[in-house]
Amino acid sequence: MGLRPHLVILCTMACTGAPEQSGYVPDAVDSGITPPEQIRLGTFNMEWFAGDYEERNAVDYEMMAQMIVELEPTLLGLQEIKNERALDALYDHGLPTRFVAEVSSDGWDLRPVLLYDSEVLTLSRVLEVEVYEEGFRDVLTAKVGVRGSEMELVVGTLHFASEYSDENTVIRAREVLGLQTYIAEELTSDYGESAELFAFVGDYNDTFEGIETEFPTLQPLLDDPSLAFATHNTSDFTQISYRSKIDHLLLSTSLADRWTGRDDLEDGCRVFAHDEHELYGTYEGGASRFPSISDHRPVLIDLEVSP
């Protein structure tokens, strides 16, 4: 298994605040490149991908690589990745090397990852942001540029505490408040003018109504007029086992203005039902304990580069 270009794992720095990765920094945007009309942003919890709890085999890697290519993402926030070697297996089984991975150092077997098409995007100033000191893992953020255009935005991927206990519900609620505070008070100081357009995508581990209905942890974000959940515009569930919508795309209202599906209240946000797909749903020979390749579904939207 050889080294892959631009596969970076972040190193935690012994300092306060958000550590910044010091490895690969993409070239400046090339003025000679024709920018795309749209970029595709999404999130996907890959479900204990090559972690100690969930073994994987060649079938898993081939199917996962093929599915990512089929989704045609420009940038995907991934969750539950053990380490860079787990992603390296995807390259060995068909994932094109134009897809570059920034892997968090935080999160044990369940690390957040930013996976992006390096022919279309550049990533810089990659940070690990602690939104709650007792949270399970940091939010992985980056400044994103679209090659050949002036569009810049900030994208973060996250994985908040699961819904399986009262204690985790409290942790998740504090993670949500920490994210809201970071957006309001620190995002601009970290990223400057690029922070006008931003998205925080990932496994929020709660529905809009609240899995614990007396404690809807996402309510502060829902009540914030500067934010918009793209996942309002789909009736599909994203977590298969519980048939719940817990994977979300949270946008600044200025970025939501570039969202092509904003006015489509039923299908403006795409949930890819791989568990019902003729190839990925059958899943013969794979190692996952679930009948499909993951217990979560990918969630995607398209954004206009020039509004």
Structural domains in the chain, CATH included, are 33-304 (3.60.10.10)
- Are the C-beta atoms of residues 23 and 118 closer than 8 Å to each other? no
pLDDT band at 137 (very low <50, low <70, confident <90, very high): very high
pLDDT score recorded for residue 285: 85
- Are the C-beta atoms of residues 206 and 172 closer than 8 Å to each other? yes
pLDDT score recorded for residue 135: 86
**Terminal-residue alpha carbon distance, the chain:** 43
| 66/18: higher pLDDT | 66
pLDDT(245) > 90:
yes
- Mean pLDDT of all residues in the chain? 88
Q: How far apart are CA 67 and CA 44, in angstroms?
A: 11
- Are the C-beta atoms of residues 43 and 249 closer than 8 Å to each other? yes
**Three-class SS state of 270:** strand
pLDDT band at 108 (very low <50, low <70, confident <90, very high): confident
Identify the CA nearest to 138 among candidates 113, 164, 119, 120: 113
pLDDT score recorded for residue 13: 35
- Residues recorded for the chain: 307
Handedness of CA 70, 74, 79, 84 (dihedral sign): positive
Average pLDDT estimate for 242-250: 97
Q: Which of 88-92, 162-166, 257-261 has the highest mean pLDDT?
A: 257-261
pLDDT band at 3 (very low <50, low <70, confident <90, very high): very low
Q: Which two tokens stand for residue 250?
A: 């949270």
Among 21-25, 220-224, 230-234, which stretch is predicted with the lowest mean pLDDT?
21-25
pLDDT score recorded for residue 249: 98
The pLDDT tens digits for 36-88 are 999 999 999 999 898 666 678 888 999 999 999 999 999 999 999 988 888 99
Question: CA distances (Å), 53 to each of 6, 47, 86, 285, in order?
Answer: 27, 10, 13, 18
The pLDDT tens digits for 255-292 are 999 999 999 999 999 999 999 998 888 778 888 767 78
DSSP 131-182: SSTTSSSPEEEEEEEETTS--EEEEEEEEPPPSSSHHHHHHHHHHHHHHHHH
| 106/100: higher pLDDT | 100
Radius of gyration of the chain (CA): 18
Among 8-17, 196-205, 233-242, 273-282, which stretch is predicted with the lowest mean pLDDT?
8-17
The pLDDT tens digits for 193-219 are 999 999 999 999 999 999 988 899 999
pLDDT(29) > 50:
no
pLDDT score recorded for residue 127: 98
| 9/91: higher pLDDT | 91
